[in-house]
Chains A and B, each alone.
Chain A
Amino acid sequence: MDLSKLPNDMKLQLCKSYFKVGCLFLPFVWAVNVCWFFRDAFIKPAYDEQKLIKKFVIMSAIGAFVWAVILVTWITVYQTNRVSWGATGDALSFIVPLGRA
């Protein structure tokens, strides 16, 4: 879909719906929202709907960032501590590596 061919109100609707979908525990949708509408929100010259689009893009960015922080922290903690957690570590794992701890 080429954003340059869409009228502005449709752009706003798209941005809003992507933001809403991202609220269902889908941080990647928020990330996509940010990347896709970044030009329209900040770089294009001002038009009516730009204020709201800007708001959604910023909220999506914050949400994606928070998710990223949480995920990176959990992944680091899990990868470094899985072995020392013993049975709990194995219980948390979907795939346990073969042939080693």
Chain B
Amino acid sequence: MSLKHIYLLVTIILLIFKGYSCERLHELIYSSIEGSAACFRRLNGTHQTGCSTSDKGAVGVVHFVQDHDDVLWLATNASAGPYMAVVSTSKFGLVEFLIDHPTNIAGVLTYENASDIPSFFTHDTRCPNEFSSADGNQCSSSKEGGVVWNEKGTGLLKREIPFPIFFIPESRYEEIEKISHCFGRFNYDKNNQRGRSLCSIQLNSFMFAAINTEVCMRRSATSTIVTTTKVCDPLGDQNVYYSLFPRTKESKKQSITLVTARIDSASLFDGVSPGAASSVVGLVTLISAAAALAQLIPVSKSNLYAETNILWTLFNGEAFDYIGSQRVAYDIKRGVWPPNAPLAPTDVKLHVEIGQIGGSLSDYVNENTWPLNAFVPTLAPSTINDGDNDIQIFLKQLSNAYNMTIPGIFNGSLPPSSIHSFRRILSNVTESGEMLEMLLVDHKETFTNVFYNSALDDSDKIAYVYKNISMINNVTFISTAELIADGLMKETDTQVKISRLATALAHALYQRVVGEAYTGNITVSAHLVDEMLYCFLKNETCKLLSAAEFGGNEGPREGAGPAPLYVGVTSWNTVAPVFAGHLLALLTGTQLSLNKSQCETKPESGYTRLWLKGWNHNGVCIETTMNFSQALSPAFIISDYDFKSGTYSTWTESVWQTMWARVFVSASGGSACVAAATGAVSTLIAALLTFWLRRHSSLIFVDPPSATIVVDDAASGILRSVNC
């Protein structure tokens, strides 16, 4: 009995000390790498792009790659099995060599180092969205000559990569240090690696989809007896639109000026797409200009200017063959956009697009100026010198308001922008000149933004530093002139430059609507721009978005860091368009004195009502003309669309279950052989022993002598009579 008590005691003690560790023993050898972002698979009508591993993941021996000699060694002389190259983003060009010689490479781990920032890092193609561009586009990846927009682009975003690539951001640099220590201990001797225990990494990013969009959509849709696994999702999200004056089905025919910008960015890695210079600068310019114009021409004056309207639109998914703008152009052609009051293609007289303007901000960080250019594709050469063309007039008004000439470029190839979609799909009105188009950019021949659509396109690249100025009474923003006078901001600050451009745009549009130049002193506040940039580039939990979110949401948001701007899949709406839309509503809409339940009743036609938190976080009812429309490529709504035709964007994203990375020390070759041999030998011995025991069982297992005679007789008698 005392033995039992001892066992119980020992068990309890063991449970107390070890009871919380429920990991399998074999899992304890791994150290997980947290915070990594993986390259994943996307597919279009004809190809699959990106990376994937096998179901079990990819295992490779760690090797730090610093220069070309290292990659050469990996490709030719390395002997200890597949390798995992660890390379800094500043040396990412070496990965190109590894892609060409992938036999000995299991994967790549790339990391961001603040003390070693690359001078360029962009993985979009050299001619972004080349196959969705309108005629007359001279940028070509296959032919020589012509202008190349994204000079430094490697094209990896739209290419198939034979191994997985994981990205470790700056905030997780300790993981790289951990791997470096491990590497220093085990892998240092390059020439004698075979047969030793080596520091290794296992990456897993198994992608479900394959081949191309047509195949993966077919596989996601087949109805079998068992429920189908979805293997891919179309890319898509929401477009945001807001009109200066309300539009209803009954309103008179208006001459519309469409002012657009893109809201999305892209990168090779999942969850890391800051898009500062690629998108956020244009986005913030548009929102602040719209807010200013709403103050210059309040909605109450809408009946004075019933013939014109300004329609501000933010397109989503532009990085992937112009998903948002293709859908809007297609919808306009069908006469279903905007949903509540559709317009006809001939209604839009001018389309102003805010394109790539963020790249040069870091170049002009010490100067007051920010030179811009305007590409105008629809002007026939013969009319250029007239100077009284509608678009040249607007350009002149804009230049005046901006205090700096914005030269028009009339016969150049059009840079990648949403205008291409309109020129392709609404070719009737664009080619005839009924819809004039203008693209505002900060470059002439090639992008100034050398981090275009990449994971490193963050706030440093646009020379942005948050000023953290408190608002007056928590409601009003300090005007730019006051900020400069008080020394809180300088003329060279990014925020001031953006506010000047937004002001110029608002004043020029005012002149276009009203017919006279603006003479008042309402300008865009650089304080507002500062707060907006903080929300989109630094942290979602910020003053503006806490005021602009849905009134029903509880408490401050958890988000540490900015919301990624990647368009994502259709079935999952991202937060960036919602933020942008609500910001527009809060800054331009009229506040109604209704409570929450009254706010939810049907509004007047042409408006939507939103119950937002408001500046004092108590809830406010905003009536606005802002709304969302679906940004899904027409390819996925047209039945029996031929995915190989190339007419519309066909991008989809693969489904995956998990993506993780972990580091461990692999067993040396010797110990594995010993374990296998031991196992085989002991199995053989056990088999022989069992066989020998069976043969001689009668000798070995002797029946014990019976204790009493009476009882056993009956039992053995019964046993003998049963015939099995």
Chain A residues with CB under 8 Å of chain B are 86-87, 90-91, 94, 96, 98-101
B231 touches A98 (CB 8 A): yes
- Name the CB-closest residue of B to A96: B219
A99 touches B208 (CB 8 A): yes
Q: Once the chains bind, are A99 and B52 in contact (CB under 8 Å)?
A: yes
| Cβ-defined partner of A98 (8 Å) among B208, B215, B222 | B208
Partner of A90, one of B52, B209, B222, B229: B222
A-B residue pairs in contact (CB < 8 Å), sample of 27: A86-B215, A87-B218, A90-B215, A90-B218, A90-B219, A90-B222, A91-B222, A94-B224, A94-B226, A96-B219, A98-B55, A98-B206, A98-B208, A98-B210, A98-B229, A98-B231, A99-B52, A99-B54, A99-B55, A99-B206, A99-B207, A99-B208, A99-B209, A99-B210, A100-B210, A101-B210, A101-B211
Nearest-neighbor residue (CB-CB) of A94 within chain B: B224
Query: Which residues of chain B are near A96, meaning CB under 8 Å?
Result: 219
Q: Which residues of A contact B206 (CB under 8 A)?
A: 98-99
**Which residues of A are found within 8 Å of B207, using beta-carbon distances?**
99
B75 CB, min distance to chain A CBs, angstroms? 25
Instruction: Output the least CB separation between B107 and chain A (Å).
Output: 16
- Binary per-residue interface labels of chain B (39-77) against chain A in the complex, 1 for a CB within 8 Å, 0 otherwise: 000000000000010110000000000000000000000
| Residues of chain A with a CB closer than 8 A to B218's CB | 87, 90
**Cα separation A100 to B41 with both chains bound (whole Å):** 12
Q: Give the Cβ gap from A58 to chain B, nearest Cβ, in Å.
A: 34
Instruction: Beyond the given A98-B231, A99-B52, A101-B211, please list 6 additional residue pairs across the A-B interface where CB-CB is below 8 A.
Output: A90-B222, A96-B219, A98-B229, A99-B54, A99-B55, A101-B210
Shortest Cβ distance from B297 into chain A, in angstroms?
55
Q: Mark B230-243, 1 if CB is under 8 A from A, else 0.
A: 01000000000000
User: Given the complex, which residues of A lie within 8 Å of B211, measured CB to CB?
Assistant: 101
Q: A91 CA to B52 CA in the complex, in Å? A: 25
Question: What A residues does B208 contact at CB under 8 A?
Answer: 98-99
Residue of A nearest to B654 (CB): A99
Residue of A nearest to B224 (CB): A94
For A100, the chain B residues whose CB sits under 8 A away are: 210
Bound Cα distance from A90 to B226, whole angstroms? 15
Query: In the complex, A38 Cα to B215 Cα: how many Å?
Result: 50
- Given the complex, which residues of A lie within 8 Å of B229, measured CB to CB? 98
Interface centre among A86, A94, A99, A100 (most CB of B within 10 A): A99
Complex CA gap A9/B224 in Å reads 48
Instruction: Please report the C-alpha to C-alpha distance between residue A98 and residue B219 in the assembled complex, in whole angstroms.
Output: 10
A96 to B208, CA, bound (A): 10
B222 / chain A contacts, CB cutoff of 8 Å: 90-91
User: Which of A86, A91, A98, A101: most chain B Cβ within 10 A?
Assistant: A98
A82 to B542, CA, bound (A): 54
CA distance in complex: A86, B644 (Å): 15
A101 CA to B218 CA, complexed, in Å: 13
A69 to chain B, nearest CB (A): 29
Residue of A whose beta carbon sits closest to that of B53: A99
CA distance A96 to B222 in the complex (A): 11
Report how far A87 CA is from B221 CA in the complex, Å: 12
Nearest-Cβ distance from residue A89 to partner chain B, whole angstroms: 10
List A contacts of B54 (CB < 8 A).
99
Q: Which of B52, B210, B226: most chain A CB closer than 10 A? A: B210
Q: Which residues of B contact A91 (CB under 8 A)?
A: 222
- Looking across the interface, which residue of chain A has its beta carbon closest to that of B231? A98
What residues of chain A lie closer than 8 Å to B231, measured between beta carbons? 98
Q: Which residues of B contact A99 (CB under 8 A)?
A: 52, 54-55, 206-210
Question: Which residues in A have their C-beta under 8 angstroms from that of B219?
Answer: 90, 96
Q: Return the chain B residue nearest A86 by Cβ.
A: B215
Q: Identify the closest chain A residue to B210 (Cβ).
A: A100
Shortest Cβ-Cβ A-B pairs, 6 listed: A98-B208, A100-B210, A99-B207, A96-B219, A99-B210, A99-B208
CA distance A98 to B231 in the complex (A): 8
